[in-house]
Amino acid sequence: MKLILLGPPGGGKGTVAKKLRAEFNIPIISTGVILREAVDKKNKLGIEVENIMRKGSLVPDHIVMEIIKERIKQEDCKNGYIFDGFPRNIEQANSLEKLNKELNEYIDYVFYFEIPFSEIIKRLSNRRVCRKCSTNYNLVFNPPKKDNTCDICNGELYQREDDKEETIQHRLEVFAKQTAPLKKYYKEKKLLKVIDANLSKNAFLAIKKILQGMHK
Ligand code: AMP
């Protein structure tokens, strides 16, 4: 089962991806997580992308495609995967299609997370992330039990550099201009399912229902 979760930053893709991973036992491939790990490690890739990410712009396509090619070759991807935050523009979607053709693979569904921008701003500016296990919290809707501490692994919570208010607006503009056109792109390929993402629990249940129907 190969899935793409498509939607604006803060739309709940990461949270839903984790639930899908637990339900269907397939890995999440989050280009954002992989890139942030590289930045934390301060390796060559991390140094190259740090400033771009801090600004909330997109990392060059060739870098992202290298990451994807390497990752999907790994053993844990043989039964499928969940792309979270990839593809981010038409160029990446075309490269993915080409890659899949070479590998004789195909995407089963693209789930588009529909959510108003006003809601996203509330979510992103209050989001805190665990440094250790990358679980997301929201200081208003889903606060941790203990301040600045992850309920699951006791890791330290932090605010992503790109969740600061001045960057959020730019990320939403990047989304509207570069990523949102993928909705039409995948609709035309008959892969698109639009999901109401106002509540992440409902978004997960809606996706689960569609995927369970796939095997009937
Ligand atoms: P995310 O965690 O998906 O919100 O991604 C955080 C940041 O990583 C983005 O703002 C981009 O700078 C970069 N990034 C993640 N995925 C991609 C991608 N597929 N293409 C280009 N840049 C990406």
pLDDT in tens, 195-205: 999 887 899 99
Tens digit of pLDDT for each residue in 145-181? Answer: 999 999 999 999 999 989 998 899 999 999 999 999 9
213 CA from centroid of ligand 1 (Å):
31
Q: Is the pLDDT of residue 128 over 80?
A: yes
CATH superfamily of 2-26+79-214: P-loop containing nucleotide triphosphate hydrolases (3.40.50.300)
Cα–Cα dist 37/195, whole Å: 29
| Residue 35 Cβ contacting ligand 1 at under 6 Å | yes
Q: Is 122 a catalytic residue?
A: no
| Residue 26 Cβ contacting ligand 1 at under 6 Å | no
Q: Using 50, 70 and 90 to split pLDDT, how confident is the model at 141? A: confident
Q: Is 127 a catalytic residue?
A: yes
Sheet containing 157-158: which strands, arranged edge to edge? 136-138, 127-130, 157-158
**How much is the pTM?**
0.92
| Omega of the bond leading into 87 within 30 degrees of 0 (cis) | yes
Determine which residue's CA is closest to atom 2 belonging to ligand 1.
32
Tens digit of pLDDT for each residue in 58-103? Answer: 999 999 999 999 999 999 999 999 999 999 999 999 999 999 999 9
Tens digit of pLDDT for each residue in 7-51? Answer: 999 999 999 999 999 999 999 999 999 999 999 999 999 999 999
Using DSSP's 3-state secondary structure scheme, residue 196 falls into strand
pLDDT at 81: 98
Q: Using 50, 70 and 90 to split pLDDT, how confident is the model at 215? A: low
DSSP string, 52-120: HHHHTPPPPHHHHHHHHHHHHTSGGGTT-EEEES---SHHHHHHHHHHHHHHT----EEEEEE--HHHH
Domain boundaries, the chain: 2-26+79-214
pLDDT at 116: 92
Q: Is the pLDDT of residue 126 over 60?
A: yes
